[in-house]
Amino acid sequence: MPKIVEILHADDPRDVIHEVVQTLVEGGLVGLPTETLYVAAAYAPHPIAAAQLSGWLKSSGIPDCMLAVKGPSEALDFLPELPPLGQKLLRRFWPGPVTLAFDAALAGGLTGALPEQTQQALLAGERFSLRAAGGDVIGAVQRLVPAPLILGGETTRDGTAHASAAELAAAAGDRLALIVDSGPCKYGAPTSIVYCTADRWSLVREGVASQRALDRLAGNLYVFVCTGNTCRSPMAEALFRKLLAERHGCSEDDLIDRGYFVASAGVSAGPGSPPSPEAVDVLRDRGVDLRGHESQPVTPHLLSRADRIFTMTRSHRDQLLRDFPDAAGHVSLLARDGSDIVDPIGSGLDEYRRCADQIEQHLHVLLDELE
């Protein structure tokens, strides 16, 4: 049986992590807890370890290995030609208990720098699977190793889960040099496996993440941006949601289940400010209740998840492009004719009405364009 180390009772948990890292780099197999279940891990650049892990999984009837990366950016090092849909799923599903599988032909970039045995372990079938595993232990290990890990053994082919260090030890026997025991995993159930092609994705195995949850995560997120997120962009957000629901013949609450999310933010906004009273009054006349809105600033996290970002003015667009160049492909003006939507703040109720009219006019054009 492998050595089992209870990290919660260790004098210094860092010593346990360092022992794990040293074992992995030297070619040993290690059992690690993740947010889902316990898994076996090998250091991807070590050919013998990769072959041993792959051999054990095949002989035990356990599904194939997967590459454990820190996040979407590292995944793209191994999938440099990943289509836009795949990149979107990386951003939306991670961090989270989801394994993403792609056609093995997409593997490239640093994949070719891995030892042949590791490539064979990862690409033995027709799919290349990757996971950004969660959990304190595996996260600490990944921060100390310069290259990814390969993982396997979360469940057997018949679905038996390794929910504890003891269960993994019983299944692996002496194949593992040591197992880190951190008690029960957060979810205690396997990852959901999603297969993605160039233009669609499908749920191969429903685990922690349900079909409905993944449908929501993979939906289209539209973000409207102004300065303070108290009048123009909240009005655009609320009116767009109303018009979108009308076009789809559903309630606004049902838009989420149809894969539509709408948000707004401000380039100079603070969190939690209420909408301007004039904006509330103007939208009330249009059957929209804006009173529950709270302002939020533009953040890298929000922009990275957005499918389309619409700014009220050219200066807003230019500021986003300057501060967040990675979002360049998703940012455009709300006004499809290239004009600015002028800030009505401090100009009275009539100016707010004109601003809302202008926003709604451009939203109709935008909806025609999106459909």
Active-site residue set: 226, 232, 343
Residues whose CB is less than 8 angstroms from the CB of residue 149 and which lie 6 or more positions away in sequence, other chains included: 24, 41, 42, 43, 44, 67, 68, 138, 141, 142
Q: Is 32 helix (H, G, I), strand (E, B) or coil?
A: strand
Cβ neighbours, 10 Å, residue 224: 28
Residue 28 sits at the vertex; the CA angle it makes with 49 and 139, to the nearest 5 degrees, is: 95
* φ, ψ for residue 103, nearest 5 deg: -60, 130
Burial class (CB in 10 A: 0-12, 13-18, 19+), 246: exposed
- Residue the block writes with tokens 């792609």: 102
**Alpha-helix runs per DSSP H in 184-306:** 211-217, 232-248, 277-284, 300-305
Residue 285 sits at the vertex; the CA angle it makes with 284 and 287, to the nearest 5 degrees, is: 60
Residue 190 sits at the vertex; the CA angle it makes with 185 and 191, to the nearest 5 degrees, is: 105
30-33 and 38-43 as β-strands: parallel, antiparallel, unpaired?
A: antiparallel
